[in-house]
Amino acid sequence: ENRSLDHLRAPVICVLGHVDTGKTKLLDKLRCTNVQKSEAGGITQQIGATNVPIDVLRELTKIVRPPKGSQPFKIKIPGLLIMDTPGHEHFRLMRSRGSSLCDLAILVVDIMHGVEPQTVESIKLLQDRGTPFIVALNKIDRLFEWQSNPQKDFWDLLKMQKDHTKVEFEQRLSSAKLQLSEQGLNTKMYYEYSDPKEYSWIVPTSAITGDGIANLIATVVKYNQEIQPEKITFSEELEATVLEVKQTIGHGITIDVILKNGSLKIGDTIVLPGSKGRPIVTQIRALLLPKPNRELRIKTEYAEPKNIKGCQGVKIVAKGLKSAISGSSFLVARCQNEIEILKDLSQEKEILGCIQCEKHGVYVQGSLLGSLEALLELLKQDKIPYSNVRLGNVIKSDVVKASIMLEHDPKFACILALDVEVERDAQEYADAEGVRIFKEDTVYRLFDSFKKHIQNHQK
């Protein structure tokens, strides 16, 4: 057992779904916290992260009954790193980020509402990225005369219900399954253990009473350690992503980071892309680790370890992080190969610098060099010229530059914004001037919507 604990890291789990389906509440139940209550309007507006340690998982899932004839359930992973995301329609980028970062997602659906617009959107995001997920069919306590008992395995609990409650459950379950199948999704109840390549598993839950949560977590754990152990095998190679760039009282601008693989320590020199097109090179001054089972985005007490190993959510304190970009990944320049890595980086900068830009053409922006390059490749294939390529959010000065094309070739007076935010005054200026901003978070979607625009021009 200990051997496997050594090389399996905590999987990254992302909770996704339509607004108010109970994503934060589910995590609150798991953490015994009340984060949801402290949110403005009860709406999540940030991506969060919680390190859930193995003892919490053990305690929580001890009531789960193994299927007949099989061994009792044994946890082999050191914990879970669970990310909460907003369900509000305006936060698609955060859902996108979460879905691309995680090893497995939990798609929360309100059993009383079934499939809703951001359920559909989340399914598309997950399918686009090939991210597996488990459906939590939440708010079962709202079924008429539901009898709660979070100390029972869900299967036993369902059997205990009155007949009319069971009937209502079955009806709502099959209606949800039908709606999901209309989205191209085949689903089965988790206890059927159907082939996960063909079926997504459903676990009914209540975030208020706690019913079903043990089964949900057990299913998440099992999925990772049994179906995709290779995916969650710890690797020494650093894999770290910036979730949020923000002020932390007493520490200035810090970054919330998901450290998936590899390790970090105080004094490490980290190198990360900056929104001004210049990489940031800075030293880690402190690693702030929220207490186990506490939300990273909520002010809390932090442990300050000297070093940490993936997979964990951690806040990094360092100078010069102001222009760090959410969603970007970073490197550590360790003594010996520092020079090499810095060279690589300057190469990246060079790539940006030597990307062959035309005098006239579209304006391209993105958060990551890799995906920008893929986009430039597509543009080249279609012989679409680009006049500017930049890393970072779209600000007004970008629009000003892009607007020059209005005089030369108005169909190219466009900004192709890949996985970045558009600042409000930039959008306003664009609308006033007639500069089109195409904003998507996948290369192909962005290219498609831009191509439609070009085709309309050619008609």
Q: Which residues bind ligand GTP (CB under 6 A)?
A: 17, 19-25, 36, 42-44, 86-88, 138-139, 141-142, 206-208
- Tokens for 379, please give them: 């543009």
Residue 111 CB, nearest approach to ligand GTP (Å): 9
Residue 116 CB, nearest approach to ligand GTP (Å): 11
Where does 183-262 have alpha helices with state H?
213-222
Map the footprint of Mg ion across residues 244-263, applying CB under 5 A. none
- Of the two residues 76 and 294, which places its CB atom closer to Mg ion in the complex? 294
Question: Is position 315 an interface residue for Mg ion (rule: CB under 5 A)?
Answer: no
- Of the two residues 25 and 439, which places its CB atom closer to ligand GTP in the complex? 25
**If we measure between CA atoms, which residue out of 436, 398, 441 comes closest to residue 418?**
441
Q: Residue 117 binds what, of Na ion, Mg ion, ligand GTP, none (CB under 5 to 8 Å, by partner type)?
A: none
Map the footprint of Na ion across residues 4-63, applying CB under 5 A. 20, 42-43
Q: Do residues 95 and 86 lie in contact, with contact meaning Cβ atoms separated by under 8 Å?
A: yes
Q: Residue 92 binds what, of Na ion, Mg ion, ligand GTP, none (CB under 5 to 8 Å, by partner type)?
A: none
Please identify which of the residues 88, 113, 251, 360 carries the catalytic annotation.
88
- Of the two residues 87 and 366, which places its CB atom closer to ligand GTP in the complex? 87
Query: For residues 308 and 289, what is the distance between their CA atoms, to the nearest angstrom?
Result: 9
Residue 44 CB, nearest approach to ligand GTP (Å): 3
Residue 302's H or E segment, with its range, is strand 302-303
Query: For residues 222 and 217, what is the distance between their CA atoms, to the nearest angstrom?
Result: 8
Map the footprint of Mg ion across residues 29-48, applying CB under 5 A. 44
**If we measure between CA atoms, which residue out of 304, 348, 352, 351 comes closest to residue 329?**
348
Express the helix, strand and coil content of the chain in percent, nearest 5 each. 40, 25, 35
Residue 114 CB, nearest approach to Na ion (Å): 18
Q: Residue 207 binds what, of Na ion, Mg ion, ligand GTP, none (CB under 5 to 8 Å, by partner type)?
A: ligand GTP
Query: For residues 189 and 169, what is the distance between their CA atoms, to the nearest angstrom?
Result: 13
Question: Is position 84 an interface residue for Na ion (rule: CB under 5 A)?
Answer: no
Residue 36 CB, nearest approach to ligand GTP (Å): 4
Map the footprint of Mg ion across residues 43-82, applying CB under 5 A. 44
Quote the Cα angle for 26-154-120, to 5°.
50
Burial zone of 160 (CB within 10 Å; 0-12 exposed, 13-18 middle, 19+ buried): exposed
Is 88 annotated in the active site? yes
Residue 249 CB, nearest approach to ligand GTP (Å): 24
Query: For residues 302 and 304, what is the distance between their CA atoms, to the nearest angstrom?
Result: 6
Residue 286, beta-bridge partner list: 317
Dihedral sign for Cα atoms in the order 12, 344, 289, 236: positive
Q: Residue 22 binds what, of Mg ion, Na ion, ligand GTP, none (CB under 5 to 8 Å, by partner type)?
A: ligand GTP
Question: Is position 110 an interface residue for Na ion (rule: CB under 5 A)?
Answer: no
How many positions of this chain bind Mg ion (CB under 5 A)?
A: 3
- Judged by the rule CB under 5 A, the positions of this chain that interact with Na ion are 20, 42-43
- Judged by the rule CB under 5 A, the positions of this chain that interact with Mg ion are 23-24, 44
Residues catalogued as catalytic: 88
